Structure 1
Amino acid sequence: MTDVFDYFAQVDLPTPTLSDDEVRRLFAEVFGIDIDVQALGSQQDQNFRVFACGSAEPLGVLKLSNPVFSEAEIDMQDAAAAVVADRSAQVRVPRIVEGPRGPMSAWWESSQGRIHARVIENIAGRTLTGSGYLSSAVVEAMGALAGAVSLSLADFAHPASGRVLQWNLQHAARVIDTLLPLEPDAAVRGAAHRAADAALAALAPVADALPVQAGHFDVTDDNVLRADGNAVPDAIIDFGDVCASWRVGEIAVTVSSVLHHDGASPETTLPAIRAFDQLRALSDDEITALWPLVVLRGVVLVLSGRAQVRLDDENLYASTALEREFRILEQAASVPLAVMTATIRAALGRRSRPDRAWTGPQLVPVVGPRVELDASTESPLNDDGAWLDPTALDAAATAALDAGAAAVTVPAWRAQLTGTVDPLPSTTATIPTGVTLWLDQPAPLPPGEVVHDGDALTWTSGDETVIVTGMPVGSASPVLPSRRRLVLRRAAGGDVPPLRVSPSLAAAWRQVVGDPGAALGLTAVPPPADDALDRRHAVLAEVQEHYYAAPPRIERGWREYLIDVDGRVYLDMVNNVASVGHAHPHVVTAGARQMHLLNTNSRFHYRAIADYAERIAATLPDGFDTVFFVNSGSEATDLAIRLAMAATGRPDIVAMREAYHGWTYASDAVSTSIADNPFALETRPAWVHTVDAANSYRGRHRGADAEKYAPEAVAVIDELAASGRPPAGFIAEPYFGNAGGVALPDGYLSAVYAAIRSHGGLAIADEVQVGYGRLGEWFWGFQQQGAVPDIVAVAKSIGGGHPLGAVITRREIADRYRTQGYFFSSTGGSPVSAAIGMAVLDVIAQEGLQENARVVGGHLKRRLEELAGVHALIGAVHGSGLYLGLEFVRDRETLEPATAETAAICDRLLELGVVMQPTGDHQNVLKIKPPLVTTRASVDVFVDALDHVLTTGF
C-alpha cells in the first residue's frame, strides 16, 4: 500500500515558514533562475508568486507542500489537474511550469527539512477571496466548475487517493471529535457541537449509500479565478485536497464557501446546486446528505482554523479566515436541515413531499361563522396606504366580529402586506408562517402540556406543538383570549419557524412543520402557480421589453414604493411617470369620479378639457395660449415636429445627437440614441440634421470648452439655411435626459433658439422628462436656460401614470396646422384624462412637490457627491432636483464607460429592494427620477444601499 498522509496520526500541521532569502536561493540552485517573490496565503502549505528578477510578469506560483505529504500525493494532485484540463476544455487549469532544466518540480533540502517545491502556471485572473458579494451568475458558475471537475474525475484512480485528510467530509465526525475537546471557547464549542450533532443525525441514514469517487473537494472562492473582464469564474487552482470521498462533497464544499460572502444566505447557494446537478445529477440520498455536509464543512472549518491559529499564530491566512469561517457555520445552520433539504429538492425539480399533516385534536372548536381576511398585496385592505397602518388588520377583524363572526383568520403561508409599518430597508421575509386569529369568545385549549413565556404560549400534545404569540403577558391560563390578535405557528422536531420567511423557503417550511390552519379545522389552499412572466413572453412582442431578466411581479404602488405579489416592498427611484407618487388618493378619486360621470371621445363638448388646457397654459410664459392633447410623449414630440413643419412650410428639422424623443415616425426620426437604436445615426431620413450632444462631461467639448457647442450648432443651422434648406425647427430636451440629467451649457438654448428663429424656424422644447417641477429650482426645464421656446411637448409626469401628453404653443402656430388637414386624438384630453391631469397639478401645488424636489433632491445630490469621493467608479453626479444621473466610469481620465458594472449594480440594488435602471448611450448612468413625493429618509435608504453595493461588490 502506498504510504500516504493520515490526519489522525498527525493532527498538528505547522506550515513551512522558509524565509524569502532561502526561497530565492534554493529556487536558483534547483531550477536555475534568479527570482523575486511575493508571499501568498495558505492554511498549511507555503505559497509564493515568483518573478524572474526584474520582471513584472509572473513566472508562476511556487507551492511548498507541507512536509507531511508524500511524493505520491503530490503526483496525484498534478495528475488530477491534468485530467481535468484534458477533459474539461472550458475550464482553465494550471500545469507545472517548464524551466531551463525541465519541469519545475523537485524536492528541496531546506533549513526546515525536506520540502517539495513545484511551480504551477500563474493563469490570468483573480480569485473571489474575501467576503465581497457574489452574484447569482458567479455562484452558478462555481457550481458548474464543481460539476465539471466531478465529471472529469469520475473514473480517476490513483494509489494515493485513499489518503486521510481533515477536509475529507467522510471523516468529518472523527475530525470534530478530535478537535472539539481542544476548543477553549465555550460559545464556539457549543455552536459547533449543536450543529454537528444535528448534521450527523441527518446524514446517518444515507451515509453508507453515498457514491464515492476522486474529487478536487476545494472548488471554493479562494480556488476559482475569473479573468479580467469576465463576470464569472472559469478557472480552478490548487488541487492540494484531491482524494477519494463522497461525490456530493464536491458541491457541499463549494456551497459552503459562498456562505460568508456579503448578502449570502442558504437560498443564494441554490444556483450553484442547480448547475452542479445539471452536470452531475444528484441522487435522492445525495440531496438528503448535501446540506448536512455543508454544515459539517462549516464545523470543520471553524475548529480546524482555530486550532491552526493556536498552533501557528503568525499564520495570517488562517487567522484572517476565522471570522468568515464562523459566518459559514452560522449561515449553514441558520435554516433547519429538513427545511433546506426540501428547498433543494424543489429547486432541482424533484418530487416534493406532502405537507406534514395535523395529528392532534382541533385546537379551537369554533361555533359560528368564520371570516378569512385577505392581507395580501392586492387586497382592498391595503388601499390608500392602509398597509402601513399597524391597526388595519385589527380594525378589519373587529368589524367582522361585530358583524357576527365567531372567529376571524388571516391564513399562514400567503404573502402578507398589511401591517408592514417599516417598509424600508426592504426585507424578503414576507410570508407568515402562522395563522392569525381573533376570537369572539375565549376558547380553552384541549388537554396538553402548556408553557408560558412572556406573550407566548406553547401547547404540546403527542407529536404536535403549537406556539401562540400575542397572549397577555403574565397570563398562566390555557385559554385563548377573545378580541385579541393571536398568531399560531406549528413546530416540528424542535424546528420552530420564524414569524415570517422568504418566499424561497416558505414551501419547504410548510412541508416540514405543516399548516397551522389545520389545527383550527381550516382547509389549506395551496398558492397558485405564478406563470405571469411566461404568459407575457408568449403573447407580447419580444421587442416590448421589461426591466430585469428575472423581474419581481409588481402588483401595487404607493407614493415612492412598489410592492410585489409576494408582499416585498421596493423603493422606486426611477419612476418619473408616477410623478406625484403611486396611487395618489386625490388623483385616484378625480379619475374615478369622472369615470362615474363621463369618459368619451375628446370631440364631444365637455368642460374639463377647457379647464385643464387653461391650467397648463397658466404654468407657461405669456403667449402660450393653445393646447393640443395626446396620449404619450412620443405623440407629443411627433405633433410638435409636425406643427413646426406646418407652420413654416418646411420639411427639415435640426436635433441634438444622442437624444431620445419617442417611437412614432417623426419622434423616432429625430431620436439618435444608440442605446435605443444602434443604427440611429445611419438610418436618419434626409430631413433630419443633427448637432453635437451638448454634454459638458462626456461630449466632444468638456468643462469650460462646452461653450463651443452653441456656436457650432448655430453654424449648422446657418449652413442649412445658406444651402437653401432653412430648417422648420430645432428640437432638444432643455435638460439632457438621455445622458442622465446633464445640464446644457449656460446660454446654449438662447443662442440656438435665436439662430433657428433668425431663419424663420421654431424652437421645440421636449419637456417629456423634466416638465412639472422635477428640477426643483424650475417648473419647466427651459427656465433653467433662461430661454423660451415656441412649442412645448410634455407627457409622462402630467398624468401621474395615466397616458396623457400635451403640446402647448401660440395660436398662430397652431392655426397653421390646418394646412396639414385636421387633428384629433380620441382619448387625448378625454374627460377622465383632463380630470386626472388637473388633479396632478393640484397635488404638485398643494403638497409643495416642486420644493420637495429642490430640498430632497439637493440632499440626495450632496450625498451622491460624497460617495464620488469614496468610490472611484463614480465619474460624475449630474442633474438637479429629483432629476439626477450618476455616471460610472472605469477611468476618470479616459471616461471609459462602466457599462457592465452599471447593469450589475442595478441588479444588486434590486436584491436590496431598490428599483434603478441605467441610461445613456453607453448605459453607464443611473437615471435617478423618483416620484416627486420621495422623502429624505427614502433617498438615504437609496444612497446607503448604493454605498453598500459599491463597497461590497456587485
Structure 2
Amino acid sequence: MLPDEKRTIDFFTEDALPAPRTTVAEAELIAAEHLDITARAQALGSQQDANFLLYADDGAPAAVLKIANPAFGTVETEAQDAAADLIASACPDLRIATVLRRPDGSPRRATVDTENGPAAARLLRHLPGGTLSGPRHLSPGTVAGMGTIAGKFSAALRDFRHPGLDRVLQWDPRHADRVVAKLAGHIDEPDRRTAVRTATAEAWARVQELAAALPLQAVHLDLTDDNLIRRPDGRPPMPDGVIDFGDVTTSWAVGELAVSLSSMLHHDGIEPHHVLPAVRAFHAVRPLSSEETEVVWPLVVLRAAVLVASGRHQAAVDEDNLYAKAALDREWRIFEQATSLPLPVMIRLVMDATGMADVPARTARAGAPVRPLLRDLAAADITVLDLSPDADSLDHGAWTDAGSEARLVASAFADGAAAVATRYAQARLTRTPALSAVSTPTVPTGIDLWLGRDAVVQAPAAGKVLTAAPGHVELAYGTQTLSLSFPRAVRPVVTAGATVQAGEDITHLGPGAPVHVALRDADGPAAPRLVRPEYAAGWLALTADPAPLLGLPADSDRTCDGDLLDRRGAAFATVQEHYYANPPRIERGWRHHLLSTDGRSYLDIVNNVTPLGHAHPRVEQAVSRQLRRLNTNSRFHYASVVEFTERLAALLPDPLDTVFLVNSGSEAVDLGLRLAIGASGRPDVVALREAYHGWTYASDAVSTSLQDNPNALATRPSWVHTVDSPNSYRGRHRGPEAVRYAPEAVALIDELAAAGRPAGAFIGETFYGNAGGVALPDGYLAQVYAAIRRHGGLAVADEVQVGYGRLGHWFWGFEQQQVVPDIVCV
C-alpha cells in the first residue's frame, strides 16, 4: 500500500465523497494556526471540498482557504498547485488561483484533521471579478473567450507530468460509462434515469470507435462557468481568471473543451449552436484532430450524464450540501440541451465549426437512379417552386399569407404543370413568422411534391422495404434510405420486409396528392421535414437532394454566405464595416422587417434609410413610374423635381424656403457647413462629441465618433471645437443632471468669442441617431442656438438619420426641441 503522501484517489473504491464538514470558526482557526493568516472566513460552496473566502481586517478579500476532500492524497494537491504555477507562467495574460507562499517561498499548505480524516488545507490567490456562473446570458464573445482559455490550458499542459495526475476521478470522461452505471440508480425519476442511461450508451459507443486515436495529456478538466472569473471591468463579461485545479488529471485532451462546452448549456437562451464559437476559439489556439472533432459532442453528452447522476448521488450522501442540491436543476438543463439533437447532427456542426466539413464522412449522396421515382412523368412537366426570400412571387408581403404555398401550386397547375415540386435545402420564406424571438424551422431536408394527374410511384433502384403503412413507405437501397409520405388514405402496394427491384410499383397516387420525398443515410436518424437554419448544416450533411429521383438537377447553385462575405471583403473598402460581427445575409425587407436568406425575420430597429419601411407599395410604384419615364439630373427642366422641392420646402417652417439637392447625407452636411462658414465669414465650428456626420472633408472633420474613426479626436482640425455629447442615458450627466450640458456648451461658445475666434456654426443631430436613438435634453438646442447666433454664427441641423418623418410624431428632429435651425441637412 502506498503511503498517504503518495496515495491517489480511485473513485470506484469510494462509497461516497461528502465535502469536509468544516465550520467558519474551524476555518478561521486552521488559517491562523496552520497557514499563518488571521482573517474572517466566509463559507463558499463546493461539490466535494470545503472552500472559504478569507477577509483581512480592512474587509478586503485576502485569500481562499481550500480544504481538500480527505479522499485526495497529498501528491494530488501538489500536482494541482504545480499545474497552476505552470499555467500562470505559460499564460501571463490569465489570472490564476495559485497557492500563496510564505516569506521563505514555501507554499502555504498543511495537513489538518477533519471528521472524515486528514485533509490538505492551503491558501490560494483570490481573484476578484466573480464567476460566469448563474443563469445570465453568455454573449458570443464570452463563449469564445471560454474556448480560448480552454485551448490555452490544453496547449500549456501538453507536456506536464506529475505522479499526482495518476488518479481515477468520476469527472474523467474515460470513466463516464462506469460512473453512470454506478450512480444512475440515484436518479429517482424512471424516465430521466432511462434517458441518462440511453444517452450514455450511445455517446460512449461513438467515443470508443475513436478512443485509440485520442491523445492523452494533463488536463484541468473543470474550466466551467463556475471556475472562470470575469474581468472586473469586462462588459460584456469576459473571462480572464481560473480557479479550482481540483480535477487536474491525465485524460483525453479534447475533454478539456467538452467540459467547458457543457457548462454553457444551462445559461439563459443558450442552445447547442450557441457554444460553437468556443469550439472555433479552442481550435484556433490548440488545433483539434479530425478524431477529436468527432468526439467533442459525444463527450459533452457524457459529461452531462455524469453531472446528472453525480449530482443526484452527492445530494443523497451529503444532505447538508446546499451547493450540490442547488445545482440539480441546471445539471438537468445541461443534459436536456446536450441531447436535444441527434449526435450525428451535432458532430457535423462541430466539424463545420473547425473547418473539417470536407473530411470524408458517411453522409448521404443521391446517386443517379436506375428508374425515375414517378413513372411516365418527365422533368420538363414539373414546375419547381421558388419559396426563398429571393422569390419574386413573394413580393408585397405575400410570404405572410398562410395560404401562399397553396396559391403558388394552384397557379402552376393552372399554367399546365403536371406536377409541382419544392427545392431541397432552400430556406422557405413561406414558413417564416413575421415576429419570433427565436428562429423557426425553415430549411427543408427533402422535397414536397404535388401531382396534377394519376401517377405510379416506383422503386428507383433495387432495395428492401423497411416500412410500408398507410401514407408512408421507407425503402433502403445502397447506403441510403428513401422516405415517402403521402395521404394516409393511400396504401402502398408493397409490404415491409419485401425486396423490390428497380421499377417495381410502390404505390399509386391520384391527382392533387401531396408527396414528401426524403433521402438520408441508411444508418442515420430520420430528419424533420423542416429544420432550423442554425442546425441545417448538421441535418443536411446526413441527407441528400432527392431531385435526381424526379429527373431534376440537384440544387448545387446555392451561394455560400461565407463566400459572399469573402467577395465583399475583396472588393469593398474595409472601413465600410458591418453592423454585426457575424452579419446575417439580408436580401429582402418588408415594412418593419428584414428577412435573411435562411428564412429568419428580424425586427428592423437599426436601419436609418427607410422612413416608411421596406418595399412600401406607393414608394415602389412612384420610383418605378419615374424610372420608366425619365432618369436624369436636376439641371434639366421637368415637373417632378419642382414638385418635390416645393413639397419639401413646405414641410419646413419659415424662414426655411430654399432647397439645394445633393446626392448623399455627407454632401448635405458638407454643403451646410460651407454655407454657414461662408455666410458668417468665420471658419470655426462647434460640434458634439461622439457624433458622425459623413465621409467628406468637412463632414468628417466634425465627426468625432470613435466607433466610426478611432483616431477622430487626434486628427480633428484646429477649426473644430467640441462639446460634451448631451446624452442623458449614458453621458457624463445622466437623468436630471442632463440639464448641465447646455450651459457647458454655451460657456465654450462664449469662450471662443472672448478669445477672438467666434464660431461660424454649430452642428449637431437634433435627436441622437448615431448614438442610439436618444432625445436631447429638453431645451438644449434652444440655449445653444441662441448662443451661436448671439456671436454671429449659424445653427446647422443634421437631420440625415433622424428627420424626414423617422420620428413619427415630429417630421423633423428640431421640432421635438421646439427650435428652428438656419440650415437643415437631410
- Residue 234 of structure 1 aligns to a residue whose secondary structure is strand
Distance 1:687 1:284 in 2: 60
Cα deviation per residue 1:219-274 (whole Å; 9 max; x = unaligned)? 22222223312453233322222222223222222222222223333333333333
Relative to structure 1, the CA distance from residue 148 to residue 701 in structure 2 (aligned partners, 3 Å threshold; closer, same or farther) is closer
Is contact 2:20-2:115 (8 Å) kept? no
Relative to structure 1, the CA distance from residue 434 to residue 747 in structure 2 (aligned partners, 3 Å threshold; closer, same or farther) is same
Unpaired runs of 5+ residues, structure 2, are 460-464, 493-506
Cα deviation, residue 311, structure 1: 1.7
2:474 maps to what in 1?
Answer: 459
> Which deviates further from its counterpart, 202-211 or 664-673?
664-673
Cα deviation, residue 609, structure 1: 1.0
Is contact 1:356-1:513 (8 Å) kept? yes
Residue 69 of structure 2 corresponds to residue 62 of structure 1:
no
Alignment of 1:145-156 (within 5 A): 145-156=149-160
Question: Which of 349, 352, 358 is the aligned partner of 2:359?
Answer: 352
Alignment of 1:887-898 (within 5 A): none
Is contact 1:654-1:691 (8 Å) kept? no
Cα deviation, residue 677, structure 1: 4.9
Question: Which of 271, 276, 289 is the aligned partner of 1:265?
Answer: 271
Question: Which of 174, 179, 190 is the aligned partner of 1:186?
Answer: 190
Q: Which residue identity is paired with 2:38? A: D
Cα deviation, residue 574, structure 1: 1.4
Distance 1:596 1:549 in 2: 39
- Residue 430 of structure 2 aligns to a residue whose secondary structure is coil
Is contact 1:436-1:488 (8 Å) kept? yes
Cα deviation, residue 490, structure 1: 3.6
Cα deviation, residue 69, structure 1: 1.8
Cα deviation, residue 317, structure 1: 1.5
2:553 maps to what in 1?
Answer: 523
What TM-score results when the alignment is normalised by the length of structure 2? 0.86
- Residue 137 of structure 2 aligns to a residue whose secondary structure is coil
Residue 344 of structure 2 corresponds to residue 338 of structure 1:
yes
> Which deviates further from its counterpart, 320-329 or 93-102?
93-102
Question: Which of 377, 381, 386 is the aligned partner of 1:367?
Answer: 377
Distance 2:390 2:686 in 1: 44
Residue 471 of structure 2 corresponds to residue 441 of structure 1:
no
- Residue 206 of structure 1 aligns to a residue whose secondary structure is helix
Is contact 1:767-1:792 (8 Å) kept? yes
1:513 maps to what in 2?
Answer: 543
2:671 maps to what in 1?
Answer: 639
Is contact 1:151-1:280 (8 Å) kept? yes
Distance 1:195 1:95 in 2: 37
2:181 maps to what in 1?
Answer: 177
Cα deviation, residue 158, structure 1: 3.2
- Residue 346 of structure 1 aligns to a residue whose secondary structure is helix
Residue 776 of structure 2 corresponds to residue 773 of structure 1:
no
Alignment of 1:583-732 (within 5 A): 583-645=615-677, 648=679, 650-652=681-683, 654-658=685-689, 659-673=691-705, 675-677=707-709, 730-732=762-764
Residue 71 of structure 2 corresponds to residue 71 of structure 1:
no
Question: Which of 318, 321, 327 is the aligned partner of 2:327?
Answer: 321
Is contact 2:83-2:160 (8 Å) kept? yes
> Which deviates further from its counterpart, 496-505 or 627-636?
496-505
Relative to structure 1, the CA distance from residue 290 to residue 440 in structure 2 (aligned partners, 3 Å threshold; closer, same or farther) is same
Q: Which residue identity is paired with 1:192? A: V
2:504 maps to what in 1?
Answer: none
Which one has more relative contact order, counting CA pairs under 8 Å at least 6 apart?
Answer: 1
Q: Which residue identity is paired with 2:605? A: M
What TM-score results when the alignment is normalised by the length of structure 1? 0.76
Cα deviation per residue 1:620-649 (whole Å; 9 max; x = unaligned)? 335544322222222223333444455x47
- Residue 765 of structure 1 aligns to a residue whose secondary structure is strand
1:564 maps to what in 2?
Answer: 596
Distance 1:152 1:720 in 2: 59
Q: Which residue identity is paired with 2:544? A: G
Relative to structure 1, the CA distance from residue 138 to residue 722 in structure 2 (aligned partners, 3 Å threshold; closer, same or farther) is closer
Residue 505 of structure 2 corresponds to residue 483 of structure 1:
no
Alignment of 1:395-410 (within 5 A): 395-410=407-422
Cα deviation, residue 189, structure 1: 0.9
Residue 610 of structure 2 corresponds to residue 578 of structure 1:
yes
Relative to structure 1, the CA distance from residue 709 to residue 307 in structure 2 (aligned partners, 3 Å threshold; closer, same or farther) is closer
Cα deviation per residue 1:802-828 (whole Å; 9 max; x = unaligned)? xxxxxxxxxxxxxxxxxxxxxxxxxxx
> Which deviates further from its counterpart, 598-607 or 739-748?
739-748
- Residue 163 of structure 2 aligns to a residue whose secondary structure is coil
Question: Which of 371, 388, 394 is the aligned partner of 1:382?
Answer: 394
- Residue 213 of structure 1 aligns to a residue whose secondary structure is strand
- Residue 47 of structure 1 aligns to a residue whose secondary structure is strand
Alignment of 1:23-42 (within 5 A): 23-42=27-46
Distance 2:526 2:394 in 1: 29
- Residue 142 of structure 1 aligns to a residue whose secondary structure is helix
> Which deviates further from its counterpart, 649-658 or 611-620?
649-658
Alignment of 1:280-299 (within 5 A): 280-299=286-305
Cα deviation, residue 302, structure 1: 0.8
Cα deviation, residue 756, structure 1: 5.8
Cα deviation, residue 72, structure 1: 2.6
1:45 maps to what in 2?
Answer: 49
Cα deviation, residue 65, structure 1: 1.6
2:405 maps to what in 1?
Answer: 393
Is contact 2:768-2:802 (8 Å) kept? no
2:502 maps to what in 1?
Answer: none
Cα deviation per residue 1:632-691 (whole Å; 9 max; x = unaligned)? 222223333444455x47244653432444333343444455554566567666665666
Q: Which residue identity is paired with 2:688? A: R
Alignment of 1:72-151 (within 5 A): 72-99=75-102, 103-151=107-155
Q: Which residue identity is paired with 1:457? A: H
Unpaired runs of 5+ residues, structure 1, are 795-954
Relative to structure 1, the CA distance from residue 545 to residue 287 in structure 2 (aligned partners, 3 Å threshold; closer, same or farther) is closer
Q: Which residue identity is paired with 2:539? A: W
Cα deviation per residue 1:741-763 (whole Å; 9 max; x = unaligned)? 55455555556656666676654
Relative to structure 1, the CA distance from residue 94 to residue 590 in structure 2 (aligned partners, 3 Å threshold; closer, same or farther) is same
Cα deviation, residue 508, structure 1: 3.2
Residue 282 of structure 2 corresponds to residue 276 of structure 1:
yes
Question: Which of 509, 530, 554 is the aligned partner of 1:500?
Answer: 530
Is contact 1:389-1:421 (8 Å) kept? no
Distance 1:279 1:682 in 2: 35
Relative to structure 1, the CA distance from residue 562 to residue 115 in structure 2 (aligned partners, 3 Å threshold; closer, same or farther) is same
Question: Which of 5, 15, 19 is the aligned partner of 2:9?
Answer: 5
1:868 maps to what in 2?
Answer: none
- Residue 98 of structure 1 aligns to a residue whose secondary structure is coil
2:429 maps to what in 1?
Answer: 417
1:247 maps to what in 2?
Answer: 253
Distance 1:124 1:747 in 2: 43
Relative to structure 1, the CA distance from residue 666 to residue 85 in structure 2 (aligned partners, 3 Å threshold; closer, same or farther) is closer
Identity level (%): 49
Distance 2:288 2:744 in 1: 66
Distance 1:700 1:167 in 2: 49
Distance 1:223 1:699 in 2: 34
